[in-house]
């Protein structure tokens, strides 16, 4: 099984602010859907909470939510109490996608062989940052694109 992480980051690796994502980039949401459709997704409880109710569980994917709370439950969510349990719950999937947030990325990074990062060319305040990948990764940089709203972004794939 491949363990893949996927996130979008602004300048200074900002990925979140006040429990949400401080920009809107529909092109990246389409990219996220295309990458993850058909595969299990693993997320921290705070990221689950950040999804609008009408969007959760994310359709076409087993949604596995990691929490330390013994009594936590939500319709459409499979509950796991550690990253290792979450990966076990993903069964024999070819790829399991860790979709945030920062706590989950940090916990899953040692197990990951692939990271899909959308770099957003935006300076924005935030309170949550993506982890630094460290050495040993090979990067493939996509070309810079401009969204319909005028935001510059590019897709970068890291493999090891």
**Which span (18-26, 89-97, 142-150, 152-160) binds ligand NAP, by CB under 6 A?**
18-26
131-160: which residues touch ligand NAP (CB under 6 A)?
none
CB neighbour list of residue 135: distance below 8 Å, 6 or more residues apart: none
20 binds ligand NAP (CB under 6 A): yes
Residue with tokens 């790829």: 95
**Which span (12-20, 87-95, 131-139, 143-151) binds ligand NAP, by CB under 6 A?**
12-20
Q: How far is CA 114 from CA 68, 72, 80, 140, 147, in A?
A: 26, 30, 22, 11, 25
**Which span (41-49, 56-64, 140-148, 151-159) binds ligand NAP, by CB under 6 A?**
41-49
76 binds ligand NAP (CB under 6 A): no
Member of 4, 5, 25, 47 binding ligand NAP (CB under 6 A): 47
Contacts to ligand NAP by CB under 6 A? 7-8, 15-16, 19-21, 43-47, 50, 66-69, 72, 81-83, 99-104, 107, 128
């Amino acid at each position: 099984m491949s363990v893949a992480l996927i996130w979008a980051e602004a300048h200074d690796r900002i990925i979140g602010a006040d429990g949400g994502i401080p920009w809107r980039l529909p092109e990246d949401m389409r990219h996220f859907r295309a990458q993850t459709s058909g595969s299990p997704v693993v997320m921290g409880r705070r990221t689950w909470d950040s999804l609008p109710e009408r969007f959760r569980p994310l359709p076409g994917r087993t949604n596995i939510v990691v929490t330390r709370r013994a009594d936590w439950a939500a319709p459409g969510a499979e509950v796991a109490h550690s990253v290792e349990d979450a990966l076990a719950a993903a069964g024999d999937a070819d790829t399991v996608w860790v979709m945030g947030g920062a706590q989950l990325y940090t916990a899953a990074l040692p197990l990951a062989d692939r990271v899909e990062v959308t770099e957003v060319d935006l300076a924005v305040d935030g309170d949550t940052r993506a982890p630094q990948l460290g050495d040993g990764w090979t990067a493939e940089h996509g070309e810079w694109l401009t969204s319909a709203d005028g935001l510059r972004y590019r897709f970068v794939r890291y493999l090891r």
